[in-house]
Every structure is written in C-alpha cells, then in structure tokens.
Chains A and B, each alone.
Chain A
Amino acid sequence: MSEDYLLKIENVSKYFINEFGEKIPVLEYLSLSIKNNEFYTIIGPSGCGKTTLLRILAGFDHQFTGNIYLPNKSIYKKNGKNSTLLGKVGYIPQEESLFPWLTIEKNVEFGLNYLQLPKNEKKKIVQNLLQLVGLEKYRKYYPKEISGGMKQKVVICRALALNPEYNLLLMDEPFSSLDSQSRNKMQEDLLDIWEKKKMSILFITHNIDEAVFLSDKISVMTKKPSKIKETIYVKIPRPRDRTSSEFNSIRKYLLNSLYQERE
C-alpha cells in the first residue's frame, strides 16, 4: 500500500466533563491528513479545540476516540505506549516553554541527553542548529536575557535537535505573544528553516494573515464541537507579498469562512 501521507487522523472525537458532570464535546469526527514536506495550517475560532487536537497529536492526551495513522505503521492505539508519538514529533507550545534555569545551549541539548550520543556529537548538533537560526553567539545566555522572538527560535531548535522521527513539527500559535513586527520576521525565518530542513509543519493559529503567508494548505475548523469545515490550498509562490491581490482574496475568503463560525 503506498502512503501518500505522513500523518492521518480519522474521526477523532473528544469530550471534556464539566463541573456538573455534563459531557462537553470538543472535537467531533475530525479528520485530516498531512503530507510529507507540507506546511499545513489549521485556523479556527478561539476556544474551538485547536490546542486539544495538537495535544492529542503530540501524544500527551490519550482520552479520545478515533484513529491516528502513520505511514508503514498500523493504527496509533489509544493506550499502547509503544505507538505514541511522544518523542517522535517536535512540539512547540503556545506558552513560553524554555527552561529558565538552563542556558540557551543546554535548552537545545535537553532532549539529546536522553539518547546515547557522544558528547562532541551533541555539541555539534546544538551548534549547527543555533547557527541555522543565527543565535550561536547567545548560546551562554539565559532565556530571560533574550527577546521573545529569539526564545521561540530556540524552542524550534530544541525540537529539531532530536531530529524527530517523522520530521514533523507541531506548532501551537508559537508567535502569538510577539508584536506584529517580530511576528512577521519570525514567519520568514520559520519558512527558511522549513525549507532548509525539508520537514512538515502542522501549524495552528487564529491569525489569518499568518496562515496565508506561511501555508501550502489551510483548514478551517468549525466552532465547538469542532470538525474540519473546509480545506483550501494556497498556491501563491514564495516569498509571498502580503499586499498582493491574490493574498488578499484568500484572506478575505478565510475571514468570511471564520466569521460564520462565531459563537
């Protein structure tokens, strides 16, 4: 069987139980798939369960129904530890997540310490990655000493250092805490890393401009209980001009689509 996807999820549903014991469905029969080397963005109204979905994919959350498929691997089972995605995909959370007690260098090295690697090899990986994002001279700094944009780059390096088995990064609104100027810069830098590393990215955002600038493919999520409402392909060549008419027409289309999903 030929595999034309890197990760595929089918009919994933999840509910929370609130304080009154009622079931609150969050995700309902949600299906999507991401291809190799694809930049895939999911946008949706706030509180629609985007983060929940990503936590399931990252392997933190096992309380769901439905199936997750990986190429050449059978079904990703709910309770089977061996089949979780933990440690096999990179995870970039929304909150600030650098360990403040470690220097930049040690932060990037963090996951490498769990592999049996010789010291100089670890050092080389860290150095190459920091060079890739242009932060090698900050390697001895502590997180509190660098800017928000730099921190997110280090977080990306830390996820990439492990060379995630599926070469997939899951990013949960990674730039939402940045001001618009550094946000734009980070988007360009991320595309740069994505192209150099030839990897796949599943990106979550509520910022339409960001989605159109970055993605090959954009899915819109419905309000709760969420599923994928529609998926569009963005075929504008990169680097994209945010002021071009093509860019704007896609933006308008998505804006409309999201507008209908207001609570």
Chain B
Amino acid sequence: MIIMKMNEKGYLGKLKELKKSIYLTKRNKIIKVIKDISSISLSLLFFILIWYLIRYIPFFSVIPSPINVFKKFVILWSDGIFGVKLWQHVIISLGRVLLGFFYSFIIAVPLALLCGSVKIINRLITPIIDLLRPIPPIAWIPFAILLFGLSTLSYTFIIFIGAFFPLFQNTYDAIKSVKRVYKDVALSLGANKIQIISDVIIPSITPNIITGSKISIGVGWMCIIAAEMIGISSNTGIGLFIMIMQSIAQIDSMIAGMIMIGLVGILIAIMFQLIEKILFKWREK
C-alpha cells in the first residue's frame, strides 16, 4: 500500500515533500535554539533560587543575596581595587595564563614530537616526565619564588608546569596512534622521514594538540588563581582580588569575583568549540 501511495504522488509530490522537509529542518533548528536558551535560563534561575533560599539556613547566613552580588558586579565593572577594575584583574590573570601556556606549547609539542619519533630521546625523557607529572603545579610555588622571586616570571613558571603535562601527553599519545597505513602510503608516494612528520603526523595530531591546549589552559586558569591567592605577591590578578575581598569582609565582591572566573571559563570553552568547528570539518563525528 505504501508503495502505491508513493507512486501516486509522482515527481511533483516528491518535490513538495522535499521543500517541506527543508522547511521542517529550518524550523527544527529554530526550535532547538529556543529550547536550548530556555533550558539554560531555567537552570540559572534554579541556581539563583537555591542561592537565595540557602541563606536562610543558619550556617550559610553570611552568603550575600544574589541581587546584592549582581549590583556589586555592575559597580565593580567600572570600579575595583588598587585602581584596577575587576575586568582588568581578569585580563591580567588571563594574560599570565596565556604567557605560561605559550612557553609550555613551544616546548611540550616539539618535545612530544621528538619523543614520538626518536626512540632514544623517548627512553631518556619519558621517565623524567613520569616522575615530575604527579607533582601538583601549586607545589612548585615555593620553588618558583626561590628561582624567580616575586615576579611575573614566577607566575609564568607555575602555569608552564600546569600546562605542560596535558599538552605533552595529548600530543605524544596522538603521535603513537597515527595509523601505520598513513605513514606507509606516504612513504610509497615518495615522502621522506621529515616530510612524513610534516605532512602526515602533524596534520593528523592537530586536533589532539587543540584538545591538549584546551585542557592546559583550563589547568593554567586554575593554577593562576591559586598562585595569586597563595603567595606570589603583586597588586593585581583575579585570585588576589578574591582573597583581598574576603579579608576585608566584602563578601559580595568576593562572590562577584568568583562568578567572573566561571564566566571566563565558559568563554574559553566556547572559543575552543568554535576553533574545533572551523578547523576540523574533516573529522568524523
């Protein structure tokens, strides 16, 4: 019966169906966006509600109301401490992260490439990395201060440590999992060893390098805030901002700072999603 119906419709009928399906996919997309936005707003509302109510439990009564924090947030946008606005503190912290990440990138990725392609170097380096990896970046703070004093270099060093291992590991694992057949084919097509690295290995591991970078920047972001809180003295940074606000009992400013950290984290994640979407169209889902 179904076959009969299909035939009755004929060519024009099919065309109509096609148009309808295009229309439907467009409509579905719009519906999906609306659904996403409403579910996110609902979840945020839920969060704010809990925040509001939790303050009535005696233990949590010091928490300021979300409305106060929001007001403070707006004020802090154009005001701050030590003459530095909240967003400027964030930018400074981010800058430190990016600087440390940059050094980490230019060392970890080439080193992983070397370890992945030269056996002797691999045997020499891997045990060292296995030994150093478990040491948390924060545990390096005293060491960093010893080496670089109370300076930006110390921050850079801590971020470098935090960002190095995820970047190295992701790159190294990716090199090890490049299919042998790709290298064979490149060889048979006349590529030499260096061309195999540049034309086969590097393009096939780029997605993993980006994933490694995402994790590294995430770790770096956590490290910088801890480093700014714990000990490396300076007048700036979002970590320091939160610490100082707590010590002068400006709890709503403190929480505004914490929310700022969360927002920056979301921004970084979105940025990476975009990069991946643009760069890796070729990847299988």
Contacts and interface: CB of A to CB of B under 8 A. Distances in A.
A166 interface: no
A58 B283 CA distance: 29
B1 to A, nearest CB: 28
A98 to B, nearest CB: 9
Contact of B179 (A58, A95, A115, A158): A95
Given A95-B181, A99-B182, A101-B204, A86 B283 contact: no
Nearest to A93: B181
Interface in A88-140: 89-91, 93, 95-97, 99-102, 110-111, 113-115
Nearest to A91: B188
Given A95-B179, A142-B282, A143-B282, A58 B190 contact: no
- The bracket for how many chain A residues form the interface is 20 to 34
A162 interface: yes
Nearest to A60: B184
B131 interface: no
Contact of B282 (A87, A91, A144): A144
B203 interface: yes
Given A99-B200, A101-B204, A90 B182 contact: no
B187 interface: yes
Contact of B284 (A95, A100, A115): A100
B185 A101 contact: no
Chain A interface, >50% SS class: loop
Given A95-B181, A97-B182, A101-B203, A110 B189 contact: yes
Nearest to A142: B282
Nearest to B189: A111
B186 interface: yes
A89 B181 CA distance: 16
A87 B188 contact: yes
Range for the number of chain B residues in contact with chain A: 20 to 34
Contacts of A93: 181, 184-185
A128 B97 CA distance: 51
Contacts of A91: 184-185, 188
Contacts of A90: 188
B218 to A, nearest CB: 25
A59 B282 CA distance: 30
Nearest to A103: B282
Interface in B178-234: 179, 181-182, 184-191, 195, 199-200, 203-204, 206
A58 B191 contact: no
B181 A110 contact: no
A139 to B, nearest CB: 14
A97 B182 CA distance: 6
A58 B185 CA distance: 10
Interface of A: 55, 58-60, 86-87, 89-91, 93, 95-97, 99-102, 110-111, 113-115, 142-144, 158-159, 162
26 contacts: A58-B188, A59-B187, A60-B187, A86-B187, A87-B187, A87-B188, A91-B185, A91-B188, A95-B179, A95-B181, A96-B181, A97-B179, A97-B184, A99-B204, A100-B284, A101-B204, A101-B206, A110-B189, A111-B189, A111-B190, A114-B189, A114-B191, A144-B283, A144-B284, A158-B189, A162-B190
